Structure 1
C-alpha cells in the first residue's frame, strides 16, 4: 500500500486500517524499546513524587 492508495481511502477506512496496524504492533512479540530521553523523564517524575515535590491532579476536574 502506498500513500496514493491511502489518500483514496475514506477517513473511516484509514482509521480502521490504522487500528489494525496498531493492534498488530501490540500483538508483536518483539519489544519496542523506550528511548533513553523518555526513561529519563519518567525517572525524574518518579523522584519528584517520592520527594513530595510533584503536584498531582485529576483529569476529571
Structure 2
C-alpha cells in the first residue's frame, strides 16, 4: 500500500502525530523488526562502562544545558 503525505503543508503538530502513529504501528510488530548485531555490542559496552564506573552521568537538566551551549 502506498501512501503519499504532503509534508510541506503539514503543521509540526500534525507531523509529530504522524510520527507517533508510525512508531506505534512499528512497535506492535516487534517480531518483524530485528536489531542489528552491532546494537547489542554497543549496549553491552555501555553496560560494562556503567558497571565499572567509567561512565559518568549528569542530571538531565544539566545535559540539556550543555547541549544547548555546544549548539549555539
- The TM-score bracket by the shorter chain reads 0.5 to 0.7
Gaps of 5+ in 2: 63-72
- TM-score between both structures, scaled by the size of structure 1: 0.63
Looking at secondary structure, tell me which structure has more helix per residue: 2
Distance (whole Å) between structure 1 residues aligned to residue 8 and residue 59 of structure 2: 41
Gaps of 5+ in 1: none
SS of equivalent residue, structure 2 residue 55: coil
Q: CA RMSD in A?
A: 2.2
- Alpha-carbon offset, residue 8 of structure 1: 5.9
Which 4+ stretches in 1 moved above 4 angstroms?
none
The residue number in structure 1 matching 2:29 is 28
CA contact (8 A) 1:6 1:14 kept: no
CA separation of 1:53 and 1:16: change in aligned 2, threshold 3 A: closer
More contact order relative to length (CA 8 Å, sep ≥ 6): 1
The alignment of Structure 1 onto Structure 2 pairs a total of residues equal to 59
